[in-house]
Amino acid sequence: MDSLVLRTAIRYLLPLLLLFSVFALLRGHNEPGGGFVGGLVASSAFALYTLAFDVQRARQLLPVTPRRLIGLGLLVAVFSGLISVLAGDPFMTARWDNRPLPVVGKLGTPLLFDVGVYLTVVGVVLTIIFALAEEE
């Protein structure tokens, strides 16, 4: 559907949505948000892009395939849990860096885990949406 208005607006909306998605991800440990919601917002940005243009354009916009993103996300998530195993603690024992950062709070493996969630969710939603849109 070629709506001039939508296509124009999406140029501004896309960075805005992605910005908010990262914001939601990073802040999730302290305020409402987190990897899942962040991932959904990010993927809805790409979904909008898909609707405004088409799947090919949306795929080009994304540097990796959604499937890779899923794999990467899962690996990041499990890796965040394995760090503690290497140190002899049970799986998923949190490790923290105690210097606080603005917005994010402290850096730690749970945050890394949430990043994995974020990536997976983006990959999943985009896989589904792209496949469905290509059906049409």
Q: Which is nearer to another protein, 60 or 90 (CB)?
A: 90
Is residue 41 within 8 Å of residue 58, measured between CB atoms? no
* Interacting residues with another protein between 14 and 43 (CB under 8 A): 16-17, 20, 24, 28-37, 40-41, 43
Q: Does 113 bind another protein (CB under 8 A)?
A: yes
Instruction: Classify burial at 99, counting beta carbons within 10 Å of its beta carbon; exposed 0-12, middle 13-18, buried 19 or more.
Output: exposed
Structure tokens at 6: 């939508």
Integer-rounded Cα radius of gyration of the chain: 17
H/E stretch holding 101 reads strand 96-101
* Neighbour count for residue 97 (Cβ, 10 Å): 11
Number of residues located near another protein, criterion CB under 8 A: 76
Q: Applying CB under 8 A, which of residues 9, 61, 64, 101 lies at the interface with another protein? A: 9
* Interacting residues with another protein between 69 and 98 (CB under 8 A): 70-71, 73-75, 77-78, 81-82, 84-85, 89-94, 96
* Interacting residues with another protein between 46 and 65 (CB under 8 A): 47-48, 51
Handedness of CA 23, 44, 40, 95 (dihedral sign): negative
Residue 44 C-beta: closest distance to another protein, Å: 4
- Cα 122 to Cα 76: distance, rounded to the nearest angstrom: 14
Q: Applying CB under 8 A, which of residues 3, 57, 61, 64 lies at the interface with another protein? A: 3
Residue 57 C-beta: closest distance to another protein, Å: 15
